[in-house]
């Protein structure tokens, strides 16, 4: 049985739509409370909750908390905090569940709800399916609201202590784009306390401008600001702070694949990469595999979604994994993707080697790659489409071991994603044009 409401990263959609609204959020809170009561450790009935800066976040969070408390859960609301702060708080508070109201990198018109289990990890597919099965038709009457508030920022920032030596960034100029989101008060503060001169972008949230032309999905302003100010590097987060995209001192952007390769190669040199294994998704560039194997390591690939990466890390005994989108999981520090931790880890490599980011990124030589995202009216089963499966098979045969194709639906948006990697830009462009043409024939693209 497949999930109805949950995608690759929680429940997500347009605010005010059939799913992301206060009534459904309250029902989801009830279902989550029923589920969490089965996970409770030592009789704990505590849930920690946080949100990003969207104007819809406060009322949705209150609705979730109302549903949770209606079934007897004690809710501790942390306020506006990065998603990894909620993951950490679950462990610190010995809670049975963590809830984040966020739509991550999506625009302000969207919102969503993510869950963490008592170990700070995101829930599995089976656990999310169980929550869906427990959804009530109506919300029980709340007899007594069991809701408290707490400062979620300070305990989260305390986790960063010791990742870099005190004062180690003195004399550094760093541009940081916080996407008008949940990291506006956290990442810049840590960098300043380490001695850096911080130039901020996307640091004036008003509830409506989260991810609007800024953040990890929009790095043009970051690159321009780095070049204009002579900064050592630029750092970009998404709206909820679990992504890290970088920009070197020349204004060239590094995606998640480059960040992960940089960190993995450094860890292999120091002998600290767990089982010499980096865990990435099927979306990552083939050049990552080549670089890590050449350094004596190995690469494991998972389905797209940082929680699948985490599951792979646990299974393989790795302490590093992530996605090309900028989710980077350093499990020796945090049990989930954390954009600030990833940035500090890269800064640590720069400090230890004395090399600029433009040189360190050279460890990854990417295969030529192209992607197309088609917004579709309906996510029809790919294997049953009349022409696309055959087109994929033919092009895969042409590429052989010189490239690969990945065609899948987005788990959070009504989009078909097509990716092609190959030996040359010309071949890649030809292949992706052919696939897009066939996809438009088989599907209703809007």
Q: Known catalytic residues?
A: 104
Distance of CA 220 to CAs 31, 40, 234, 252, Å? 42, 45, 11, 10
| Structure tokens given for 167 | 């004062």
Q: What is the phi/psi pair of residue 194, to 5°?
A: -85, 0
Alpha helix positions (H), 171-240:
187-193, 220-229
H/E run at residue 115: strand 110-116
What percent helix, strand, coil does the chain show, rounded to 5? 40, 20, 40
3-state secondary structure 37-48: HHHCCCCCCEEE
- DSSP 8-state symbol, 109: T
H/E run at residue 80: strand 74-80
How many C-beta neighbours within 10 Å does residue 354 have?
7
| Structure tokens given for 344 | 């500090």
Task: Round to whole Å and give the CA distance between 319 and 313.
Answer: 6
Q: Residues 144-153, buried b or exposed e (16+ Cβ, 10 A)?
A: eebbeeeebb
Task: Round to whole Å and give the CA distance between 68 and 150.
Answer: 17
H/E run at residue 350: helix 339-353
Task: Round to whole Å and give the CA distance between 64 and 75.
Answer: 10
E strands of 282-338, at which residues?
A: 298-302, 320-322, 328-330
Alpha-carbon dihedral 108, 213, 417, 339, rounded to 10 degrees: -80
- DSSP 8-state symbol, 116: E
Decide: helix, strand or coil at residue 188: helix
| Structure tokens given for 75 | 């809710």
H/E run at residue 357: helix 357-360
Q: Which of 369, 434, 367, 437 shows the shortest CA–CA distance to 398?
A: 434
CB 133 within 8 A of CB 34: no
């Amino acid at each position: 049985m497949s999930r109805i409401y949950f995608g690759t990263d929680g429940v997500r959609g347009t605010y005010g739509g059939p799913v992301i609204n206060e009534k459904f959020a309250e029902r989801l809170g009830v279902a989550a409370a029923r589920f969490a009561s089965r996970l409770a450790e030592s009789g704990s009935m505590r849930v920690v909750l946080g949100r990003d800066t969207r104007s819809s976040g406060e009322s949705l969070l209150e609705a979730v908390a109302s549903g949770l408390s209606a079934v007897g859960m004690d809710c501790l609301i942390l306020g506006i905090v990065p998603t990894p702060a909620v993951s950490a708080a679950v462990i610190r508070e010995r809670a049975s569940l963590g809830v984040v109201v966020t739509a991550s990198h999506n625009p302000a018109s969207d919102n969503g709800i993510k869950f963490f289990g008592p170990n700070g990890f995101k829930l599995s597919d089976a656990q999310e399916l169980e929550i869906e099965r427990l959804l009530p038709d109506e919300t029980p009457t709340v007899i007594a609201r069991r809701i408290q508030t707490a400062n979620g920022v300070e305990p989260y920032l305390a986790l960063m202590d010791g990742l870099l030596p005190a004062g180690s960034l003195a004399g550094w100029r760093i541009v940081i784009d916080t996407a008008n989101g949940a990291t506006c008060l956290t990442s810049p503060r840590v960098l300043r306390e380490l001695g850096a001169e911080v130039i901020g972008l996307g640091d004036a949230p008003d509830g409506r401008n989260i991810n609007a032309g800024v953040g990890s999905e929009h790095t043009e302003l970051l690159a321009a600001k780095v070049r204009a100010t002579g900064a050592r590097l630029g750092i970009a987060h998404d709206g909820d702070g679990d992504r890290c995209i970088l920009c070197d001192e020349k204004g060239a952007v590094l995606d998640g694949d480059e960040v992960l390769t940089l960190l993995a190669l450094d860890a292999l040199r120091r002998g600290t990469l767990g089982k010499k294994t980096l865990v990435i998704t099927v979306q990552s560039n083939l050049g990552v595999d080549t670089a890590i194997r050449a350094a004596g390591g190995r690469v494991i690939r998972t389905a797209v979604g940082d929680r699948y990466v985490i599951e792979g890390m646990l299974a393989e005994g790795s302490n590093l994994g992530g996605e090309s989108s900028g989710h980077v999981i350093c499990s020796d520090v945090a049990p989930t993707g954390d954009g600030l931790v990833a940035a500090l880890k890269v800064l640590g490599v720069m400090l230890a080697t004395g090399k600029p980011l433009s040189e360190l990124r050279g460890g990854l030589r990417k295969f030529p790659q192209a992607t197309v995202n088609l917004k579709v009216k309906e996510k029809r089963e790919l294997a049953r489409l009349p022409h696309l499966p055959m087109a994929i098979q033919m092009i895969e045969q042409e590429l052989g071991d010189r490239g690969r194709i990945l065609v899948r639906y987005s788990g959070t948006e009504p989009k078909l994603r097509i990716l092609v990697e190959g030996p040359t830009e010309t071949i890649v462009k030809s292949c992706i044009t052919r696939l897009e043409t066939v996809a438009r024939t088989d599907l209703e693209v809007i």
